[in-house]
Amino acid sequence: MNANGIRSAWKKGLAGFLEREQADLVCLQETKAQRPQLSADMLAPSGCQGFFHDAQKPGYSGVGLYARRTPDRVVEGLGWADFDAEGRWLQLDYGPLSVVSLYLPSGSSGEARQQVKFDIMARLTPLLRQMLADGREWIICGDINIAHKKIDIKNWRGNQKNSGFLPEERAWLDLLFDELGWVDAFRVVNQEADQYTWWSNRGQAWAKNVGWRIDYQIVSPGLRGSVRSARIHKDERFSDHAPLIMEYAFDLP
């Protein structure tokens, strides 16, 4: 889930949510904190170990992963200086499975950041192709900042020229899912409309459910048959995003 600041989400009850869910793995994006700023329970809540890849800029970006089992390997970043400086990729490996917390840049602040987003998308494409050829299974959990299809956004007509629903962005997800073979795990078990994970803070968007589905769990083809259930947790609000909770029939080694 995108926490929009882990310390803020904590004050809104995130710790209790984690305790109740007892999830094996929890991926966080936009933690907006460095590790020394986190309390002991934020670093290791509810019987979990916490792993973090922070942005260099204070109060900005950052990803995290809470895990109940110790991973075989932890990978912070992709070796891309500009991307890694913003803390956007954290990977835990368990035997043949890799789980990634990914925070794709938003382009909504202006053209310069939109170009950064396009650049990262272009650089991720060959990597994502390579990942599917490496024989591992993958779960990429993240705020992708793109609504894929009309069903994934309430006001699709009015947003076709806005970042997050641009034709080029949607075509990139077409490439990932239709050509490369990655799987939108949520849509394996839920094909309904009005399934959103983010709502603007403007215009009573939350109350009216005028949202976007921009948070995903993207899995390798071998895990398609392991997807058991999906739900968007809207009973509490920890940020402007809602947690996407998924269950897989896959035992961690």
> Burial of 31 by CB count in 10 Å (0-12 exposed, 13-18 middle, 19+ buried)?
buried
Q: What is the DSSP letter of 206?
A: H
Residues that are catalytic? 143
* DSSP assignment letter at 225: G
CA atoms within 13 A on the CB side of 253: 12
User: Which amino acid is located at 119 in the chain?
Assistant: D
Provide DSSP, 112-178: HHHHHHHHHHHHHHHHHHHHHTSS-EEEEEEE-----SGGGBTT-GGGTTSTTS-HHHHHHHHIIII
The CA-based angle 122-126-127, given to 5 degrees, is 105
Instruction: Retrieve residue 120's tokens.
Output: 């990262």
> What 3-state class would DSSP assign to 42?
helix
Q: 3-class SS at 37?
A: helix
